[in-house]
Each structure stands twice: as structure tokens, then as C-alpha cells.
Amino acid sequence: MTQAGKLPLPSAPTTPARHPSGARPQWRAGSELPDRGEAPPPQLTRRITAIHLPRFAMERWQRALARRGDAPPEDIPQALATEGPHGPVIHATNRAAEEAGISAGARVVDMRALCPELRVDYADLAGDRAALERLVLWARRWCPWTAADLSAPAPAAGGVAGLVMDTTGSDHLMGGEAAMLRAMEEQLSTLGISASPATAPTHGAAWALARYAPPRGLCPPEALAQVVAPLPVAALRLAPQTVLLLQRLGLGRIGDLTAVPRISLARRFSRAPLAENPLLRLDQMMGRLAEPVSAGEDPPRFAVQSRLAEPVQDPTAWLPELCRELCGGLAAAGFGARRLTVSVYRTDGEVSSVSAATARASRDPDHLCRLFEGRLERIDPGFGFDLITLAAPVVEDLRTIQTRLDRREDDGAELARLIDRLAARLGPGALRRPDPAPSHIPERAEAWAAAMGHPKPATGSTPAAPRPLRLLYPPEELRVLYAVPEGPPAQFVWRRLTHRVARFAGPERIAPEWWRDRPGARLRDYYRVEDQSGRRFWIFREGILGDGRGHEPAWFLHGVFG
Amino acid sequence: MPENDHAVPRRTLPEDGDFPPNPHAGFVEFGLATCFSFLRGASDAVDLAQEAWALGYDALGCADLNSLAGVVRLHVEAKKAALLPLIGCRVQLLSGEEFLAYPEDREAYGRLSRMLSKGKMQDAEGGWQAKGACDLTLDDLAGLGAGVHLIFLPPPSLAGLEKALPRLARRLPGLGYLAASHLYRGTDRARINRLDRLAGQAGLRLLATNDVLYHTAARRPLQDVMTCIREKVTIAEAGPLIAPNAERHLKSPAEMARLFAEWPHALRATRELADRLHFSLDELRYEYPREVVPGGRSPQEYLEELTWAGAEDRYPGGPPAEVKATLRKELAMIEKLDIARYFLTIHDIIRYARDLASPPILCQGRGSAANSAVCYVLGITAVDPAQHQLLFERFISEERKEPPDIDVDFEHERREEVIQHIYGKYGRERAGLCATVIHYRPRSAIREVGKVMGLSEDVTGALAKTVWGSWGTSVDGGHAKEAGLDLSDPVLRKTLILARELIGMPRHLGQHVGGFILTERPLTETVPVGNGAMPERSFIEWDKDDIDALGILKVDILALGMLTCIRKCFDLISAHYGTTLTLATTPREDPRVYEMLCRGDSIGVFQVESRAQINMLPRLRPRTFYDLVIEVAIVRPGPIQGDMVHPYLRRRSGEEAVDYPSPAPPHDPAELKSILGRTLGVPIFQEQAMKIAIDAARFSPAEANELRKAMATFRSRGTIGKLEEKMVGRMVARGYDPDFARRCFDQIKGFGEYGFPESHAASFAHLVYVSSWLKKHYPAAFCAALLNSQPMGFYAPAQLVRDAREHGVEVRPPDVNYSEWDSTLEPASSSGGFALRLGLRQITGFRAEAAQRLIAAREAPYRDVKDLQERGGLSAAEIRRLAEADAVRSLFIDRRQALWEAKALRDAPDLPLFRETRDEGEEIPVPLPVMPVCEQVVADYQTIRLSLKAHPMAFLRKSLGKQGYITAETLKSARPWQRVKMAGLVLVRQRPGTAKGVCFITLEDETGVANLVVWPKVMESYRKTVMQSRLLVIHGVVQRDVEIIHIIAEHLEDRTDALMRLAPDGARQAGAPAPSHPRNVKLIPPSRDFH
């Protein structure tokens, strides 16, 4: 308390001169209310750049389609929609849709009435957010303090994204602020993102200039008040209802607002939350209230290296140590590697890399090391290597969880390791795993998926009826004796051997999948049969005599039990 | 009209279908679900009954999941197909066990219905049950007793059943059977054998069923789609959720005998059970409540007593002789049909509204029997049938053994009181609202099926759009091609086929707007009663068609906004002018009222205020009450579609001779004269079309009845085509002009949806007359009453107020020191009449409770906003609303200053410690810029939806005038075919289904309104402009016809930007361009106001 009074006030260096020190109570020093009429001049030493990305969601969607070779025509109105309480609501639009009068926030049904040729797709909000996070990392090329701009109140209609960066002192690397802003606009446009950047001494002012002023606005500290005065109050990042209120009060511009005595605004707005408080927003804009850019941390990177005194011909001996070191780092951070790259640097400057991948996150050094077994020999050593690096470019969360009380490991890990090693040897394309598919047709009930991907979570119940271990593909045709039309098989000939049916169970009737089979497809009656020697088969009759879909039904053997 | 439940016609078997009864079959299907097992059963009763008959059944069970909603339909259709309907229900307990329950007799049925009601009204803990749910426990089932035969449906896995089954058998007295199905699951034989063994151990009998979900195997795709809709998956990912095959269809007894050849006793069990059930829905004969007849008298005696007493009241000095004769004739017919208690029940409800409710509730009856002399003297209607030649026999036929139809309209704000009175008097046990079955409409069907088929939102949207309007019932390929869709694509084709099958399937049960049924014994023993979505509402599971089919009586308690308005207007007149009026005592046949109507000056008047009606009035030139009856009936899609309007107008104006189509000799040439005499030879009313069918096409009463039913649901495919052939063919054969015959039939088709019977038209015409009379003689009171009854009618408050001002009413803005909650009358400054003071209810977002606090504390005028807060007890937010609406002018501050001061108020408790000083210091006066008038007007529209200060167009007039734009006022003197350009705000856009794509737009400027016609061709090129403009500029040609002026659009322009320049930036929020009702159109886009 006593010290507080002696400290120079960082934001108000001139105040002591105006207030006789005796008149000012000591305890108010730290909580100086800036409402005594004359606000202390702010310290406007920082340079903040805000980038407005007005069509981020729509452009991302267009790029995704273009990548599929299905680029949407520019001249057809297109909108992205989200689910609203009364049906889908427009989220983002392209230029043609905007010209047709489609506005964000309106219901899709109403907009269709307005513009029948409007095309609508669903917006991917989570994808947009993730893409913006990636863009933040990409934009750190200009300055490290870069973040997604989330300071404005949630816009009524989405699709509007922005970045904010503290470019204090980094603009000279790009040849000055004007050149930097131009570079930002250009480089973002090569990514297919339209952007409007602006630089000002505060976050609030930069945000306003990027959206409500001519492109590439630059605001020097001394001109701040002048530059923002003609902007509408909406540029203060206020909620729409507050903007409407201020307009009803005749305070439509920021300049009008600054002309009102502080005390009058404070009485009316001091308790409002930030998004509805023009006073706080004005302070932020003018630098009276600090609003630093807090950039998130870079994602962790995992790489280790080994610098060798003498060039070596074979890096294999160093790999176990590198793996141990890398896994130590991964374990400390709680991650596991999904992809690994070994790079060897030859003395003559050549660099070669070998990569491996894992089916699930792992930080077991022995296992990771084994993935490179026999793969490093293929590198031409030349005159030897003097630097080896091991990096994990793709990592995933991997927490240490004890799954069992005995010391054995849970069953999935073993399989994953096997897959990793096989994939490392044979190439990932050579490995597939069966994947249950939702269908009653036996051959469609399982699909083959790449082994390295995540296995699908088991979907619900598997069919209760018994299935043979081995399915024949394609089923083999049989000659069968049976009682027409629907009788069970009595005897059949398979691969030139005659089997007498001793016992049977069935039929299990599986109808064609009407939504994807051709119209003439016939149903199947499956029987489990046992022949005289006790061998069990799974045979079916395709169709029934008189079902109007062809002649005599044919019989097939589809699988063998045991 | 609450006729939306008719929008999807009910399919039914023809009355005279050729279904010779089948001999006794060895098997009866009990496990049969109709489409009222929502999203489970995929066939409706018609198909099931027809198929069952074709397969050789003689009896058919019906068991929907926890519901009896579909039994009436199956009962009706099965009887038509010569099948014995067996009524039951599939009961699913909370614990998962499922049973089929079939009551043996009426008492057992009552117990079953009561159990379902309990499950639908209370959840397992005894709380208020959610709508659509049904919680049943084993105890409930045990309470059914032995009269309800239970069939246990085994779960897919039989594990544990050895123990469970004997336990269930001990617990449930009615449990006698165990169901077994052969569904080609691969293990059927082993399973049935095991079930047979289990049944033997538990002392049950094995009963065969095919657990039917659809009538033929071809319906499997629809059932799969329904499953997907229910489970919210697409068909491609449904996998194990849907059945592997199509075996759950109705199989013939012979087929079942083949499948159950090893277990013949399972088939015999079905036959024996069927023979033990002797309950029929026909036993639910209606028992009228006894309360309405005082003890010791027969209903007929009591009704006659009331009738003669009422006649003395209606005709002071005794009823005239011909009225006496009519009453005697009607009473004789009532006695013959034994419907006296029906009239007494309605009389009882009306008496509550008129005599017991305080203040009395205005009401009026309508419907086929309402325009009888008996109803008039009982006070059910106010239309004197003797004066208007409305004869009872025309409305009630002896052939129809159905109860007569009387709907009663009540004031819309007070209908709830009547409903609660009925509940109070008869008890929730004995009174219930009908259900309305919500069906799949074409659009919803396509959307749902498209979603299941994995089509994108775009494609389903385009497909759905091929159905024009919500009344489109069919989907066809031609339209799809129009929308740019390739129908050779198999997925699209399947989608359309399935959507067509889904249309008309019930989706869920809603609550009927006001159809009540009243019973003598507890209602829950007649039909299950479930909870509505609204608290305190319960409704029965059957809709009004079901009620009709069983001959159960229902009373429609409907709400009508105009009655509220008329009552409020009567109240205002008696308070300020000292004249007491009622519906029956309003002076009749006042020529000044008809003069006003002939000018088309009818904004606010009941029924004839729409644009089409306003245009019709100067042509029809009503001079008597009966002209109004015709006016009400003629501007309806029925007569318009049947092309009856123009012939009638031509004959009325004398341009065309009145002649009556006549048959060739030897038939009586004047046989149509008696039917069509009143309407100059043009059929206009529903009954006339019916009469023509009977007299000119020689329809038998049964055929006429069928025609009447088909009229209600004219799209029942097939039937209508047959009837058309029959009617037109017979008329032509009897020598009528084929053209006339076809037009008659077209009109019948149109009536199906929106035709008026003469009795309805007469009741409505009475309200038209009364409201016109009030508008003519008390415009200020009428406008106040209209504003106080909102929402109702066709026009927004802005148009009502504007119309009142044009009629010389002084209108004053809402004000904290002068206004009540409602709009009121106060002495006018000049003439000595009354001025209209808008009420605080006009202010959007201001609540009635706040207004009551404000008015209660207003013993002296409020001086400032602080006073409003302290004395008026308003919160800061409420004062802000008043300030925004500019309702504080009497505090000598304008909107902006008031808002500024209101914003400074806080809701903090007023404690002495904080009273003296404010933490921010003293207030400094801030000079706010003056709000320009144009901004004031915009803010007025945003807060009270009208402005008394100026019209938005007035600000643009100077520049418009210079550019040669005419006003609505000068348009009145324009020459026909003159080329004009005009600008105005778009009030209403309409594209009626009967107008073949023509769009009608009403424009408003500061001098009046103008009507535009946009032909389809122009519409196509200016579609966006038409749909989106708020300020529309039109270049076109004037068309005049009598006093009706249209501008035919040639070129349109959207100048909304000019309008937007009036408002500050914040008001430029585009609203939805297609508001649900013209009344809700706000001229200037609505803004999100702060709260």
C-alpha cells in the first residue's frame, strides 16, 4: 500500500502534476478511475496488425471441391448453411449469392424462395476452426505473436474469421509496414483466401480498420483518434443490440461517442459486459486499456540428433540411442509417435531420409527402432555420414494407462506392432484388415480397410445367425436335388463329389438390398447342411421358382464351416 | 378454417365394393401393425383389409404399439371388405416385454383403454407424462383381468425364458398364449420347437403369427425407410437395424398352414381365440351426458319447452304463424332422429358463455344444423332463418344417420374459459378433445425419404419444390424434370416412388383445435386419452373422422378473433356512447352500411377485407343480407375454380339473361329452378351442387353421401373419377349441356377444399354485417377493438390505424400518462366525438403486468423517468422500452433524451446509504443530436409497428414527384390504359393457387394503397425484385373496371436502398422476405432490439 503511491504510474505520467499529491488519497493510486474528465494519454508503442478473412469458410469449401476436381462455378449462387432452430440457416455465401441478395443468418427456405437456383451445402464449423488454427501457425512467418482473433462478439451470422498479430518490430523484416501488409494480402491470396489486413497501435483500432476502412489501412499512433473518429460504432466490436442503442441515441460514429463526457457513458454502461460496453471498447481502441496479443504456443516438435566426430558408413548402431532419446522426450510430453523420419547427412552435403509409420501412437524405443530394420542399408553412404537426426513429425496424445493388473499388455498393442513391422517391410499398401460393414449380404458384411488406419469402432450387434469361418468368393455353383419350390437340399454335387445331406438347418432368407442391387436381383435362402461324413457347408439357393425374376433358381456353395 | 386435417385425404374402400365374404379360415392373424404404429407399420387399413380379403381371411386382428389410434380405420375398412375386425393392441412394458392384448367384451375393452390412458397420462412415477410416451408396468397389465387375452411375444433371445414364463403366467390372469413366428431367420424350426416346449412347461398354448408390418412384400422398402427415419440413419448405414428380408407381410392362411405344418395346434389356437372374442367397436354406442336434462323429463320434452320459451323471447308478442309451423316441423324431425340431447348439450354450452361467464362471452353457431329455427330461438345463432329462407331440411338429411353438425365460434381470447368450463362440468374423465392426425405431406415425405436415401439437401430441396404449395398432394416426374433432375437415376426414382408411398401415412397425433366429445361413462373406457404437448390438455386418440365413423357426437368449440373484436367494440360503445348492442339487436339492413361495402371500403371487416373480396364488392354491389351470404361464399377457390363467379356477376348486372339449365323432355324442365333460383341459376353453395347431383343426375341418397365424402377429400384417387363419369354421364344422358355438367362437377371438386355451405356462409355473413355496421357508425371504437384483439384479421395495425384516420378518426400515440394497456377512446379535441388513444400493448416487448403496475400507481401524472421507476414500479429495461417507443412525450422529453435518461437508471435497491451520491459523480447534461423525423418514423415502425408522425414514403415524395411518379391518390383519376409509374412500400404479395401463377402485390404510399398485377411472364424476369423489394417501383398500364383499379406491371425495380437511407445503419438488417402472414409484415425490416 505504501509503496504503491511512490511507484510512477505507468499509464499516467502526467497526472501527478495536475493532482496535488496531498489531495489524492493514496489508496486510489492503483485503481485510478479514468473518469475525472481528462483521460491520461495512452502509451501507444505497440503495432498490432489485424487481418480480416471475410470469406474464409466459403473459400475453404471451394478449395476442397477444387481439389476433388469439382471446382464450383463462381457465377452460381452458393451458400453454406448450419442447422438453426427452425431449419437450416445461411452461414456463408459466395459473391454470386451475395449479389443475389442472400444474407447470412437468414433461413435457407426463405432464401430459396428468393433465389431458386441457390445451391446449399452444410458448413463444416469444426473444420473451419481447425483450418484457422493451422493458418495461425502458417502466418507466424511474419511474426511469432500471431493468434486467431476471437475478441469480437460471436457474429450473428458466422463465416467471418480473422487473425491478429503483434508486429511490433517485425515489419522491417518485410520492408516496412506497407510492404508487409501487401505481402500478407498477396501470400494469403495465393492460398485462395481473400484477406484485408490493417495495422494500428491497438488491437481494437486494427480490428476496426481491417473491416471498416479502405484496404491496407495504416494508422500511426499520433493519428489514432483522428483515423477512428469517422468509423461507425459497430467497429468497436460491440454486440448488435448495443450498436442499435447507440444509433438510436444519435451516437452512430466513434467520434460522436468520444465527444460525450466520460462520466455520462460510465453511468450508463459501466456494469455492462465487455461486448456491450462502449466505454471499455473505446478504451481498448485508444490504448487506455491494455489488450495484449496472446499467441498460443507452437505445437511441440520432437527431433533428436547425433553429431558424429568421424563420418560413419552405417548409421544403424546410433539408432537405438536416438530412439531412446526421442521416446524419452515423447514420454515427458505425453505423446506417442505416429510417423518417424530418419535423416542422414552425408559429408558431401547430400541428405537422405527414411520414413516409417505406426498403426497407433507408440513410444516404445525397441519397437520404433525395429521399424527401420534393414531399411537403412539401402542408403548410399558415399564417404560416410556425420549427422543423423530422428524426428517424429506426426505425434498423438498417448497417456500412460494401466489397462491390466497382471503384467501382460492388452491385446491390441501386439497387433499394432505386428502391423507396423509388416508395413515397414512390405509397404503400407500391402496390408489390409477386415472391417465390419453394415449389410446383411454376407460378402458385403465385411470390407477391407488399410491396416494402418484407425480401426472402426465395432458397430452394434453382429448378425445372430451363425456364419462360416471361410467364405468362398465367388460362391461356387452346385447341382442340387431338392423339393420345388422351397424345399431343403437333399443331395448336392460340389467339385464333382456328391454329398448327401444328413442334416440341415434353415432356410435363412436374405433379400437383395433394394437400394443398391439391380432390379432383377433375387433373394437367397441359406442352409447350413451336414453331409454323410460330417462336413458342414453353407449353401444357398438364389431365388424361388416363380418369383418372376428368372427361371430355375441356381444353388451355390458360399462357405465351409470348420 | 381449421380444416388442415383434411389436407391429406383419407383413403377408403368404396361403399359398394364387391367383397363377398370368405369362408372360415384356419388361421387368423393377430400380430398386425397398421401405420398407426408410427414409423413401424408401413401399410394402412385400406390396403391391409383389401389384401386380407384377397388372401382368404375372414377375420383380422389389429394391434398397434401401445395405441388404439388405428383401430377405427381398420374396423371400418374390414367391415367393408366383409372381414370380422378383432380389436386389440400391442403392449410394450417399460421392462421391455411385449404382449398382444385382445379384449373379449366391452368391459374388457374398457379396462384395456383405461390402462393405455393411464400409461399416456402418467409416467411410471405418477408425474405428468410427456406427449407420445406410454409407460406401462407388469402391474398395470395384471390389472386387466382375465377378459383381456394376452399373447406373449418372445424376445429374439430365448435365454432365461424357462424361468420367466411360468412367473408371467402366474402373474397375468389373461396370459394364455405364446406367439411363434416363422420369419426365415435360419433357426426358425429350432426356435419354434423350443417355444413349443416352453409353452407346454408354462401351461400356455403356442399361437402362430407372422408379426405383420406391411400388407405385401413389396412394401418392405417403405418399412426399411421408416425404420431409418425412426433411427435417424441413412439406408446405406442402417445395416442390422433393418430386416434382412421381406417376410413380415400378410401371408395367406394356406401359406401359414404350410409354414406351421409341424405345429398345427399353433394355428388352431388362433382360430379358437378369434372365436372367443366378441367385442366390436360398434358397441361403443354414444351415450349423451345426462346433466343437460333436468330429472323427470325426456330430452325431447325439455327441448320443446326450451324452444317455445326461447321463441317468446325472440319474437316479443309471440312468434309469427309460419315460424311456429317451422319450429313444429323441425322439432318433429329432431324427435324422429332422436337428437334432442345433442341440441341440449350445445344449448348448455352456449348458456354458459352467455349467462354464466362473466363478462358474457360472445358466441355464434354455424354448421349444417345451425341455421334452423330451433337454433335461432335457442340463441345458438343470430341469423333469423325466417327472414333469409334458410330451411332446416336443406341442412339435415334423414338418410345420413349421422349426428348433425353444429360448430360454435367463441371469442378467441376466451375460448379457453369455455374449454375449462366443459372440463369442469363433465370432468376430464368424460370430456376430451379429438386428435388430429398429422400426415406426411409431399414435401415432408420427399425430404425424409431423400435424407434416408442419402441425397443432398440440394437435391431433396429441388425435388420438394416440384410440389407447388403445401396443398400439392402428388409428386410426379414431369415436375422433377422441370427442376433439372434426371429421373433415370435409380436413386431418385426410388426416392420418388417411396415418397409417394409415404404421403398420407400418419406421422403423429396432434390435438384438434376444438372438437370435443362428451360421454356419460368415463371417456377413458371408450378410447385411450393421452396428454398434449401443452400442459393441462389431454386429447383422445381418435380424430373426427373416426368419431364420425362410430357415430359418436362431437361439439366443435372454435375460436374466432372477430367475435372478440365485436364484443370489445360493443363494450366500448356502451361505455362511451351509452348504447347497448348485441349480435341479434344490431340494426338490420342499414343502407349506409351497404353503401360503404359497395365502395369496397372494408378494411378490418370480417371476411370481406381481403384484396380479392375488396375487388369483388364494387362488382357485386351487395344491397341485402343475402347478397352478403353470396359475397362470402363466392370468393372461394371452389366457385372460382368452377368458373361460377363471372356468370353470376354478369347475370346480376343484367348483362346476361337468367336461365336455368334444363334437361331434355320428358323430364321436368324447371327441376333446377328450385335449387338455383336464389343464386340466379349459378350454383354457388355446396348444398346446391349436392342437390344437382340428386335431382339432375339422379344420385341415390347413398351415392350422394359417397359424393359428399369424396368432396371432403376429393383426391381419393379413383373414386372421384368414377363419380365424375357417373354424374356428368347421367346429366348429359338426361339432356343437360355437357359443358354445364362438367362445370358443376369441377365446382364440387373445388368445394372439397374451400367451399362454403350456405349455412356457414349465412353465419359468417351475419358477422360481416355486424362488423361493417360498427365500422360505419363507430369507426374509432371499431379500430380500437381491432387493435385490442390482435393478432387477428388480415391487416397489420399500421393499415388499421391508417384506415381509421382516413375515416376521420383522430389517433393519438401511446403515452405513459394517458394510455391504458388496451387502446381506448378519449374525448376528441375538436368535434366533440372520440379520439383513439393507442394502448401500451402496441409497444413490442412491453408486458401487460408492467402496464398494470404503471397504471395502478398513476394517481398523478408521472413527471420524469425517475418517477416512472420509483412510483410506477417499472424496471430500467421496461422504461427503456417505453422510451424507445416514444411513449414518454408527456414528460416533455423526446425519444432520444428519454432513452438516454432511461439508460442511466439502475435496478439496484434504493438504499439510503447510496441515495445521496452516485459513484460516478454528478450527471453532466449531454447535448444529443436531434433525431430527424425520418429516423423517428423508422424507430416508430420498429417499436410499435406503425407511425403517426409521417409515412416513410413522404420523405421521398419530393424527389419522386419531380421524376413523375404518381401517388395512389392520383391513380384514382388515371385513365384506363394510361401508362404510369409509381413507387410504394410492399404490403402484401400473394400468389393464390387459383390464379395460375399471377402474382398480386399491394403497394402503399402516404396517400393510399394501389393494387398491382404481375403476370407470370413478367414475374419470371423480375422474380427477385418481386420477392425481395420493400420499396417497389412499378412501370405499367392502368386497368379500370367499375371502381377497381389495377396497374399491370411491365417493369419493376427494387428501390429498397432509398428506403434504407432513411434509417441509420443499424436498421439495415434484412429480414426474411417471406413472412408467414401478411399481417406480420413490417414495413421496415425488424431489428433485434435490446432487452
What pLDDT is recorded for position B5? 37
Give the chain B residue nearest A527 (alpha carbons): B186
Give the CA distances from residue B989 to residues B466, B1029, B1036, B1073, B1078, in Å, rounded to whole numbers and listed in that order.
21, 10, 17, 10, 8
What pLDDT is recorded for position A70? 79
DSSP string, A135-188: HHHHHTTT-S-EEE---SPPPSS---EEEEEE-TTTGGGGTSHHHHHHHHHHHH
- At B656, the amino acid letter reads E
Closest CA relative to residue B795, chosen from B1046, B568, B610, B616: B610
C-alpha–C-alpha distance, residues B533 and B535, integer Å:
6
First-to-last CA distance in chain B? 36
Share of chain A above pLDDT 70, in %: 86
Looking at the partner chain, which of B494, B900, B1027 has a beta carbon nearest the beta carbon of A249? B900
Q: Which of A200-209, A440-449, B568-577, B803-812 has the lowest mean pLDDT?
A: A440-449
Strand-pair category, A446-450 with A470-482: unpaired
What pLDDT is recorded for position A409? 62
The 3-class SS string of B50-98 reads: HHHHHHCCCEEEEEEECECCCHHHHHHHHHHCCCEEEEEEEEECCCCCE
What's the pLDDT band for A448 if we cut at 50, 70, 90?
Answer: confident
- Average confidence score pLDDT of chain A: 81
For residue range B543-585, list pLDDT tens digits in order.
Answer: 888 887 787 778 888 888 888 999 999 999 999 888 888 887 8
Contacts of A107 in chain B (CB under 8 A): 1072
What pLDDT is recorded for position B1073? 35
A516:B185 CB<8 A: no
Q: Quick check: A8 and A30 in contact, CB under 8 A?
A: no
* For residues A220-229, average pLDDT: 88
What pLDDT is recorded for position A540? 94
What pLDDT is recorded for position B1068? 42
Give the chain A residue nearest B936 (alpha carbons): A248
A-to-B residue pairs, Cβ atoms closer than 8 angstroms: 174
| Alpha-carbon distance B901 to nearest alpha carbon in chain A (angstroms) | 9
- Write out residues in chain B with pLDDT < 70, as ranges: 1-10, 15-16, 285-287, 368, 371, 386-403, 465-487, 535, 637-638, 641-642, 701-702, 705, 708-720, 747, 749-755, 831, 907-922, 992-995, 1042, 1063-1091
What pLDDT is recorded for position A27? 37
For residue range B856-913, list pLDDT tens digits in order.
Answer: 888 888 888 888 888 888 888 888 888 888 888 888 888 888 888 888 877 665 555 5
Interface of A with B in 424-463 (CB under 8 A): 437-440, 459-463
B186:A106 CB<8 A: no
Looking at the partner chain, which of B465, B904, B1090 has a beta carbon nearest the beta carbon of A268? B904
CA B645 to mean position of chain CA atoms: 26
B920:A266 CB<8 A: yes
A261:B924 CB<8 A: yes
Could you tell me how many residues make up chain B?
Answer: 1091
Interface of A with B in 284-343 (CB under 8 A): none
**Contacts for B1013 with CB less than 8 Å, ≥ 6 apart:** B998, B999, B1000, B1039, B1046, B1047, B1048, B1049
| Alpha-carbon distance B792 to nearest alpha carbon in chain A (angstroms) | 24
**Residue from B214, B924, B940, B1030 whose CB has the most chain A CBs within 10 Å, to mutate:** B924
Q: Does position A23 have pLDDT exceeding 90, yes or no?
A: no
C-alpha–C-alpha distance, residues B442 and A178, integer Å:
59
Q: Does position A217 have pLDDT exceeding 80, yes or no?
A: yes
What pLDDT is recorded for position B59? 93
Contacts of A524 in chain B (CB under 8 A): none
The 3-class SS string of B940-991 reads: HHHHHCCCCCCCHHHHCHHHHHHCCCECHHHHCCCCCCCEEEEEEEEEEEEC
B458:A120 CB<8 A: yes
What pLDDT is recorded for position B397? 56
Interface of B with A in 883-942 (CB under 8 A): 884, 895-896, 899-900, 903-904, 906, 918, 920-921, 923-924, 926, 928-931, 939
User: Which strand (E) or helix (H) includes residue B539?
Assistant: strand B538-543
CB atoms within 10 A of CB A503: 12
> Is this model's pTM higher than 0.80 or not?
no
| Alpha-carbon distance A52 to nearest alpha carbon in chain B (angstroms) | 21
**Residue from A31, A244, A248, A258 whose CB has the most chain B CBs within 10 Å, to mutate:** A248
| Category of B536 on φ-ψ map: left (φ > 0), alpha (ψ -120 to 50) or beta | left
Q: Choose between B701 and A102: higher pLDDT.
A: A102
Q: Quick check: B604 and B795 in contact, CB under 8 A?
A: yes
Q: Is B489 on the interface with A (CB under 8 A)?
A: no
Residue B961 C-beta-side C-alpha neighbours within 13 Å: 10
Interface of A with B in 70-129 (CB under 8 A): 81, 88, 100-101, 103, 106-108, 110, 112-116, 119-122
Buried/exposed B866-887: b ≥16 CB within 10 Å, e otherwise: eebbebbebebebbbbbbbbbb
Give the chain A residue nearest B937 (alpha carbons): A248
Q: Which residues pair with A93 in a beta bridge?
A: A79
User: Which strand (E) or helix (H) includes residue B255?
Assistant: helix B253-259
Contacts of B184 in chain A (CB under 8 A): 507-509, 525
